Amino acid sequence: MIGLAQVYIVAGLIFAASAALSVRDASNPKRWVNAAFWGLLALSMVAGDRLGDLGNGVLVIALVAVAALGGLGRGVVPDDSASRKDRSARHGNRLFLLALVIPVTVLVGTLLFKAVPWLVDAKQVTLVSLALGALLALGIGLFWLRDRPVAALQEGRRLLDAVGWAAILPQMLASLGVVFALAGLGKVVGNLMSAVIPDGSRLGAVLAYGLGMALFTMVMGNAFAAFPVMAAAIGLPLLIQHYHGDPAVIAAVGMLCGFCGTLMTPMAANFNIVPAALLELKDRNAVVKMQVPTALPLLGFNIALLYWAAFR
Amino acid sequence: MNLWVLSGIAVMVAGFALRRINPLLVVLLAAAASGLAAGLDPLALIAAFGKAFNDTRYVSAVWLVLPVIGLLERHGLQERARSLIAGLKGATLPRLLTGYLLLRQTTAALGLTSVAGHAQTVRPLLAPMALAAAQPADEAEAEQVKAMAAATDNVGLFFGEDIFIAIGSILLMKGFLEQQGIVLAPFDLSVWAIPTAFAAFAIHALRLWRFGRGRQR
């Protein structure tokens, strides 16, 4: 059955190729650091299940040590804008067709693979489709554009180097969330939150729940981690059981308050920090800053919706 | 109540505020602070973090799209995206980004969250198109335009996906409520994402319009 294991092998091979190509990049003074970083990540992808928990822990420490002590570098990227323009004119809109191969594969794969659970792990259809789409687009692209596979891997490595250590920040933060949960952090925050609500104030409880979802999401970087905590501390005992609010509204709109928090925090690295790196922005927080003026009024809307719609 | 387990949050806030320390290191230190405060022994803590890291590899696996994106860029995809927009007369920045917002929200509402994204669409297509439509005067303005393109993708994704009944967050809520003896169909929850989806579109589209107008002056 095709599932995560196969996707991890594809990703691992790409990271391994990036490590190998880093070594050969003489223009990068830190080429060995980059090679070690992508090499360790390749090892995690390909062999993570065989390393054991402690082994994986040591691997993480090594990854962080390489990034924090060594510091990843970037080689000189040759200016090929003239040849890009030239090729762009030659290939024309065919390039858009190739760019569409990934989304179309994801679309078709998401719909079709659910019908063949013996072939593709039903829980992982999206990621499997994405990997398949990327490989399909790569194959067609290499054939159509008449280029060598190593050229694609080289370009992929340059993009990866542009993202740098931020490439694993989302995974690190997801792991931190697991450790926080293990340490019982959610219960403590929930207790503190329920202690600050004034007695008998329905509006106070709604405000504490909505703002609490947004704030705790900002801390955890993820509304999924904040929801069980805030729902157990305020949503369920106060809003649903005490004030008899509509559970569907309280759960659904509470979660959306959390999404407003996601827009405002560097902790949601895959949405906020990684794109800044991908777009090569100077300010790491440029995307967060751009999102705050949308997130705040929307949070206000959500809290008002909670207040009016849950207690009709 | 052991308030020391909150020390991890303090480490995160301080570490991100200082900016001098590598954020990956800050994350490890935060895990150590909260974990040790909760009474985990160091080896168990390292193993717990290692297991969590191994279980969440799917987060980093998405980078496998980079070689094909790089290949397309090498053959001029960004240039092509730019000239397409430059050739369209009415393609202003607010119109382009509002159109993308609508498309992203609608596809996400149908459960198709991975058809677009920062690596797949924003960097190779949307950002160069936005730059071509905006014609920024300097580097600082170009940064703003690119950041707005990324922000628009996020807003569209977040406030579209919850309308889809089989998305992770809906299933999480359903599961949580069920444990408390409240049984709801996914549809009961997802229907309440619709008002916020409209509000998000209205607020962000208004901001895009003002962003475009502010730049014209």
Q: What is the pLDDT of residues B117-138, one digit of tens each?
A: 999 899 999 999 999 999 999 9
User: What is the sign, positive or negative, of the torsion defined by CA atoms of A169, A170, A172, A177?
Assistant: positive
pLDDT of amino acid B103: 93
Task: Mark which residues 206-225 of A lie under 8 Å from B by CB.
Answer: 219, 223-224
Domain ranges within chain A, ordered by starting residue: 4-168, 184-309
Nearest CA in chain B to A137: B68
- The total domain count for chain B is 2
**In sequence order, what DSSP letters do the residues of A267-301 get, joined into one string?**
TSHHHHTHHHHHTT-SSTTHHHHHHHHHHHHHHHH
Question: B30 near B9, Cβ under 8 Å?
Answer: yes
CA A271 to chain centre: 6
pTM value?
Answer: 0.87
User: For the residues B185-205, what does the mean pLDDT come to?
Assistant: 93
Q: Half-sphere exposure of residue B29, counting CA atoms within 13 Å on the CB side? A: 17
**Considering only CA atoms, which of A117, A116, A125, A153 is closest in space to residue A14?**
A153
Q: What mean pLDDT value characterizes chain B? A: 90
Is residue B171, in this structure, part of any structural domain at all? yes
Are both B187 and B147 inside the same structural domain? yes
Nearest by CB to residue A138, choosing from B24, B53, B67, is B67
**Considering only CA atoms, which of A204, A311, B38 is closest in space to residue B30?**
B38
Say whether B150 and A275 touch across the interface (CB within 8 A).
yes
pLDDT of amino acid B144: 95
Question: B148 near B130, Cβ under 8 Å?
Answer: yes
pLDDT in tens, A150-172: 999 999 999 999 889 988 988 89
- Cα-flanking dihedrals φ and ψ of residue A38, to 5°? -70, -30
Question: Hey, what are A292's tokens?
Answer: 């705050």
Is residue B122, in this structure, part of any structural domain at all? yes
Say whether A68 and B150 touch across the interface (CB within 8 A).
no
Residue A6: Cβ-neighbour burial (10 angstroms; 0-12, 13-18, 19+) = middle
Could you tell me which residue, B36 or B187, shows the higher pLDDT? B36
pLDDT band at residue A40 using 50, 70 and 90 as cut-offs: very high
Could you tell me which residue, A171 or A193, shows the higher pLDDT? A171
Q: Where are the alpha helices (DSSP H) in chain B?
A: 7-18, 23-37, 42-55, 58-61, 66-74, 77-87, 93-109, 127-134, 139-161, 168-179, 186-190, 194-216
pLDDT of amino acid B42: 94
Is residue B66, in this structure, part of any structural domain at all? no
Tell me the β-bridge partners of A2: A120
pLDDT in tens, A77-113: 777 888 888 888 888 888 888 888 988 898 888 888 8
pLDDT in tens, B74-109: 998 888 888 888 888 788 999 999 999 999 999 888
Are both B114 and B165 inside the same structural domain? yes
Nearest by CB to residue B34, choosing from A4, A165, A185, is A185
Query: Is B171's pLDDT higher than 90?
Result: no
Are both B93 and B176 inside the same structural domain? yes
Are both B84 and B123 inside the same structural domain? yes
pLDDT band at residue B33 using 50, 70 and 90 as cut-offs: very high
Q: Half-sphere exposure of residue B123, counting CA atoms within 13 Å on the CB side? A: 23
On whether any CB of chain B is under 8 Å from the CB of A191, the answer is: yes
Other CB atoms within a 10 A radius of the CB of residue B20 amount to 5
On whether any CB of chain B is under 8 Å from the CB of A97, the answer is: no
Are both B45 and B149 inside the same structural domain? no
Using CA atoms, how far residue B149 sits from A160, A288, B54, B156, in Å, is 20, 12, 32, 11
pLDDT band at residue A134 using 50, 70 and 90 as cut-offs: very high
CA dihedral (B23, B28, B30, B33) in degrees, to 10, reads -150
**Considering only CA atoms, which of A193, A209, A217 is closest in space to residue A243?**
A209
User: For the residues B16-27, what does the mean pLDDT come to?
Assistant: 85
Nearest CA in chain A to B72: A95
Rounded to whole angstroms, the Cα distance separating B169 from B165 reads: 9
pLDDT band at residue B216 using 50, 70 and 90 as cut-offs: low
Q: What is the DSSP letter of A99?
A: H
Are both B102 and B187 inside the same structural domain? yes
Percent of chain B past pLDDT 90, that is, above it, reads 56
Rounded to whole angstroms, the Cα distance separating A248 from B183 reads: 10
Nearest CA in chain B to A189: B6
Using CA atoms, how far residue A310 sits from A147, A215, A257, B165, B179, in Å, is 58, 21, 14, 20, 21
Query: Is A199's pLDDT higher than 80?
Result: no
User: For the residues A288-292, what does the mean pLDDT come to?
Assistant: 97
pLDDT of amino acid A220: 83
pLDDT of amino acid A52: 94
Are both B130 and B49 inside the same structural domain? no
Residue A146: Cβ-neighbour burial (10 angstroms; 0-12, 13-18, 19+) = exposed
Other CB atoms within a 10 A radius of the CB of residue A268 amount to 27
Chain A CB contacts of B118 under 8 Å are: 271, 274-275, 278-279
User: What is the sign, positive or negative, of the torsion defined by CA atoms of B109, B113, B115, B119?
Assistant: positive
User: For the residues A131-137, what does the mean pLDDT come to?
Assistant: 94
Is residue B123, in this structure, part of any structural domain at all? yes
Other CB atoms within a 10 A radius of the CB of residue A80 amount to 12
Using CA atoms, how far residue B162 sits from A112, A150, B127, in Å, is 22, 40, 26
Location of structure tokens 């450790």? A179
Is residue B96, in this structure, part of any structural domain at all? yes
Is residue B63, in this structure, part of any structural domain at all? no
pLDDT of amino acid A260: 97
Are both B28 and B101 inside the same structural domain? no
Query: Is A34's pLDDT higher than 70?
Result: yes
Percent of chain A past pLDDT 70, that is, above it, reads 100
Tell me the β-bridge partners of A120: A2
Q: How far is A200 from chain B (nearest CA, A)?
A: 23
Percent of chain A past pLDDT 90, that is, above it, reads 55
Are both B94 and B130 inside the same structural domain? yes
Query: Domain range holding B10?
Result: 3-56
